[in-house]
Structure 1
Amino acid sequence: MNINIPYKGGDDNHKQEEYELESIATRDNVEYQHPTEIEEIELKSLRRVSDRIPAAAWYNIAFAFIEAFAYSGSTFIFQNYIQFPPPKHPGDQPGALGKGQQTATAWSTFFQFWSWGTPVIAAIIADRYLSKFHTIILFSFIFVSGLLILTVTSTPAAIKAGVAYPGLIAGIIVTGLGDGLQSISLVMVGEQYPRKENFIRTLRTGERVIVDPKLTLSSIYHYLYLTLAIGYLAPTITTNIEKYHSFWLAFLIMALIFSIGVVLYSWSRRWFIETKTGGLQLWKSVLVIRMAIARGFNLENAKPSKIPEPHHSNIIWDDKFVEELRTTIHASKVLLFPSIYWMCYGQMSSNLVSQAATMETGIFPNDMMSQVDYITLIILIPFMDKVFYPMLRRRHMEPSPITRIFIGFMLITVAMSFAAILQHLIYLKPPCYQFPRCNVESGGSKVPNYISVWWQAPIYVIVAFSEAITSLDYAYSKSPPSMKSLVMAINLLTSSIGSALALAFVPLARDPLLPYMFSGMAIVSFVTGCLFLICYSGKKQYN
């Protein structure tokens, strides 16, 4: 709905907005207004609220939960699986391949790079060849196939026969490709709430409020993030299975759970809303950009209305598409910076796992500490959505997406700095000092340095705060309807770029150089966050 802002008597201090009030039927014992004409209202006198979340959105959120559960439960055990050899005694440090920390970090980071990059492939397929739903089903089949490869090649017989390492590589590639369904499933969540215009609602209390679809969409993605955080508690199960039973059983359980989720998702399809994009979005984008470069590096000149008629035979786009591409490019510019954020974030499933293995863990697996992050998120997200942000909105103090992303940068910087300090403290502790888990043995098992793993907890709590504050729904809310899959994939691609950047730190992923690695990431994150704020703060199109 277009909102015009006329001025009374030329007085700029008394703004009023014109709303076209929609006819809404009575639902859930709540009375809705049914006006017959345009009303002028004072916006500041009405409170903005979010709408009810449709059931179809909850179905898609549930599937995202299953995907996150299977993804985290199967991939968060990679570091131990690759780094450490098989344990000599039950309950010892779990492992299988014994390739060392650098190799484990390299493969874990590559998997993050690959799995966060494949959503672009899925987005292209969904836009050009298949529907979003059928693309999700196709990539789900690929994902399950990858988990089954990991299951078969991680059995004791496969490890003994020497096929576990090539099986790991094949499993990483196939599973990572299947995980491309992320971009489409995230878009499907948002599409289940199609309303775009504000409307007026009268509550049971008699209060008239503005129901804002943007707030509703933000609320949907807050609940999505909360659900994903719960799904990421899956390593609580698989890390204990790997420690006290085997890796192959952990992979198999995740494959079975995800397969059940796909069946239930397919059954729910009848209620889904799916926006048709018309296909060829990426190809048309390439053609438009090529035309813009040829005509003076100006997108405006790529509009068909600006091109002479004789050259229209090869044009398959219109002026509206060029404007949508301009919006997409503006959103993508902002999304390039968070790659550094995700570079640091990825340490939770790689080097921080290895760091925990050098500390006293007691009965807990070393790769279970990441669950502190997700438990914190489960507490934080409802608080932020229901208490913190509404309070800021009432005081007209709600931070812009740019401010929130900057705060996220600063918090992840603090987390990496803490990790560097903690690594230094580990090196100060006996019995192995700068070379934890050395040849000092006790009963045939290598022992960690004498420092509790719970010193890692503040790192994960700080990271959780940074996630809760950072704008998850920015890319979706800023993208045009015809390009939401592609823009969401680009948003996920920032994580892939971050993993590629993290590969540059792999040479430092060994004792006694780890403090320099964490410190370097903290410095890069701080500088990037400051540059980000300088570049985009105050620009209305990004706030």
Structure 2
Amino acid sequence: MAETTIPASPVKAKSRFPKSVPYIIGNEAAERFSFYGMRSILTLFLVKQFFNPADNPALTDQANAHANKLHHLFVMVAYALPFVGGMIADWFTGKYKLILYVSIIYCIGHLMLATFDGGLSGFELGLLVVAIGAGGIKSCVSANVGDQFDATNQDLLSKVYGWFYFSINAGSMISTVAIPWTYEHFGPKWAFGIPGLLMALATIIFFSGRKKYVKVSPQGINRNNLVFITWYALTHLSQRKPGQHMLDIAKGTYDPERVEGVKAVYRVMTVFFFALAFWAVWDQCLSEWTLYAAKMDRVINLGFTTFTVYPGQLSTFNTLFLLMFIPLFNYVIYPWLDKRGLKTTPLRRLGTGLVLTALSFVVIGVIHTSLDHGGSPSIWWQVFAFLILSAAEVLVSITGLEYAYTHSPKSMKSTMTGIWFLVVSFGNLITAVVNGLIEGGGWWATNLKGANYEWFFVAFICVFIIAFLIISPRLKERNYITDPVIINQVAAETERL
């Protein structure tokens, strides 16, 4: 009897990170140092230098609201432009060229902040240029991470986004310690100049990896985009078949993959809408919270040493907690829950993150109430609020970046990420408008005075949580990276046409 030989099963090669990843992560760490470093002192600087230099108690509320408004308008512009930058990269330049060229503009903006620290008009122009630089590259940088991966190492994508976010917060942590200290001891020129030097370093690091990147070519402008496809579908509704998705009407005239991409945009926008509540309040930890910290007991006693933290340094706790929470969630909490049948889907992460966001503002509301009554609460209360908010950030922000990439087709990666950052922009617009109304006086100034400001935003977030609980069970997730049904469906329709 002949011996039967059973062929050995092929051993799957171990996935490896692309060689370009260290350059991308190094660039992001230095760029985030520059961005968060200047933001850590921005609100305090605006109040002290321009809006209330004499520290007149009668002007405190108006000056604070004015500074907060300008800060959030700056963030709004910085996070609105990724949508534009993403389209330019997809259509004309590709991600690599756009990141490189706009980074140079970014450096010029930082130079203007350091130069015009004594004049409001010049300083505001510098803020606009920095916002253009930061916003122009932002969606492209995060989408460029995903472009470096293929079918052989897709299993590492979630981890690399975690490390990408880790680099963001490593740069942020160092800057939020160093820049407020620099501001107190050497003044605004050095405090705004050092972030400019780090942005120059970020540009050099990115350029150094130019031969190692996977560079996705621009797609060029054509009629296969969201506006044309949506308009065609709306104007040809009479051709819709029973049970057919409205946008499928356009598949006979437009590229079916692009039609699927537009459908993905609307699906993802539904999910991203709920993140609006998070972004309407998160950036307040770098603006409003610093003003509260200035009035708190900021002496920290660790037993073996005692020191006083500067108000702008408090956000360092946010980055410190994130550096701990990112590996904790990725390697411990998520796997532990998944093994017990509680799969940590993006929607579940987002919902949990919203609840934690509201709780962090409850803590800040309690702090503000104490300050209103003449108290001087320990800064550890704000540290506690940062702990809760940091956990919420892991659940909302990292999930959003990953969701934007995995739930969109290849042709719309940068644009989809730009939409995520557009949500951040709208959130800051809401906060800027509220502060503008407070600055203007009247009903808003009277009813949102003191801690009522925080309770307003707690109620605001709770409205989103209730809506999320109602709508989220009806939302279907469609992953373009791992779902074979979607991949085969798009391929079949493309081949058919």
Does TM, scored on the shorter chain, surpass 0.5?
A: yes
- Please give the secondary structure, in 1, of the residue aligned with 2:344: coil
Counterpart-to-counterpart distance in 2, 1:177 and 1:22: 53
| Aligned pairs (5 A) from 1:147-296 | 147-154=110-117, 159=118, 164-180=119-135, 181-195=137-151, 213=154, 215-233=155-173, 234-280=175-221, 284-296=225-237
* Greater relative contact order (Cα < 8 A, sep 6+): 2
Which has more helix, going by share of residues?
2
The code of the aligned residue for 1:248 comes to K
The code of the aligned residue for 1:235 comes to T
| 1:302 aligns to 2:302 (yes or no) | no
The verdict on how the C-alpha distance between 1:412 and 1:22 changes in structure 2, with shifts beyond 3 A counting, is farther
Deviations 1:369-424, CA, capped at 9 Å, x for gaps: 11111101111111111222222233332221111100010000001111111100
| C-alpha displacement of 1:295 | 1.1
- Does structure 2 conserve the Cα–Cα contact (< 8 Å) formed by 1:240 and 1:365? yes
| Aligned pairs (5 A) from 1:18-417 | 32-33=11-12, 51-85=15-49, 100-154=63-117, 159=118, 164-180=119-135, 181-195=137-151, 213=154, 215-233=155-173, 234-280=175-221, 284-296=225-237, 298-303=246-251, 305=252, 317-362=254-299, 363-417=308-362
What is the CA RMSD across the aligned residues, in angstroms?
A: 2.7
- Please give the secondary structure, in 2, of the residue aligned with 1:179: helix
- Does structure 2 conserve the Cα–Cα contact (< 8 Å) formed by 1:403 and 1:537? no
1:476 to 405, 424, 442: 405
Deviations 1:143-193, CA, capped at 9 Å, x for gaps: 111101101011xxxx2xxxx211221011110010121110011111111
The verdict on how the C-alpha distance between 1:51 and 1:364 changes in structure 2, with shifts beyond 3 A counting, is same
The normalised TM-score by structure 1 is 0.76
2:423 to 484, 489, 494: 494
The code of the aligned residue for 1:519 comes to W
The verdict on how the C-alpha distance between 1:409 and 1:242 changes in structure 2, with shifts beyond 3 A counting, is same
Counterpart-to-counterpart distance in 1, 2:391 and 2:69: 27
Please, which runs of 5 or more residues in structure 1 have no aligned partner?
Answer: 1-20, 24-31, 35-49, 198-211, 308-316, 431-449
| C-alpha displacement of 1:508 | 4.2
Deviations 1:62-92, CA, capped at 9 Å, x for gaps: 2111111111011221101101249x99xx9
| C-alpha displacement of 1:455 | 2.1
| C-alpha displacement of 1:540 | 3.1
- Does structure 1 conserve the Cα–Cα contact (< 8 Å) formed by 2:351 and 2:468? yes
| C-alpha displacement of 1:429 | 2.4
The verdict on how the C-alpha distance between 1:340 and 1:228 changes in structure 2, with shifts beyond 3 A counting, is same
Counterpart-to-counterpart distance in 1, 2:65 and 2:39: 17
Counterpart-to-counterpart distance in 2, 1:142 and 1:360: 40
| C-alpha displacement of 1:467 | 1.2
The normalised TM-score by structure 2 is 0.83
Deviations 1:259-299, CA, capped at 9 Å, x for gaps: 12211211111010122341227873211111111112921
Counterpart-to-counterpart distance in 1, 2:294 and 2:425: 26
Counterpart-to-counterpart distance in 1, 2:32 and 2:384: 24
Counterpart-to-counterpart distance in 2, 1:376 and 1:463: 9
The code of the aligned residue for 1:256 comes to L
| 1:504 aligns to 2:433 (yes or no) | yes
The residue that corresponds to 2:475 in the other structure is: 539
Counterpart-to-counterpart distance in 2, 1:115 and 1:409: 23
Counterpart-to-counterpart distance in 1, 2:226 and 2:427: 24
- Does structure 2 conserve the Cα–Cα contact (< 8 Å) formed by 1:116 and 1:492? yes
- Does structure 2 conserve the Cα–Cα contact (< 8 Å) formed by 1:402 and 1:542? no
| C-alpha displacement of 1:521 | 0.6
Counterpart-to-counterpart distance in 1, 2:224 and 2:287: 36
Percent identity among equivalent residues? 22
Between structure 1 and structure 2, the one with the greater Rg is: 1
Deviations 1:204-224, CA, capped at 9 Å, x for gaps: xxxxxxxx72x4211111111
Counterpart-to-counterpart distance in 2, 1:131 and 1:464: 33
The code of the aligned residue for 1:405 comes to L
- Does structure 2 conserve the Cα–Cα contact (< 8 Å) formed by 1:83 and 1:98? no
- Does structure 1 conserve the Cα–Cα contact (< 8 Å) formed by 2:367 and 2:377? no
The residue that corresponds to 2:485 in the other structure is: none
- Please give the secondary structure, in 1, of the residue aligned with 2:20: helix
| C-alpha displacement of 1:514 | 2.7
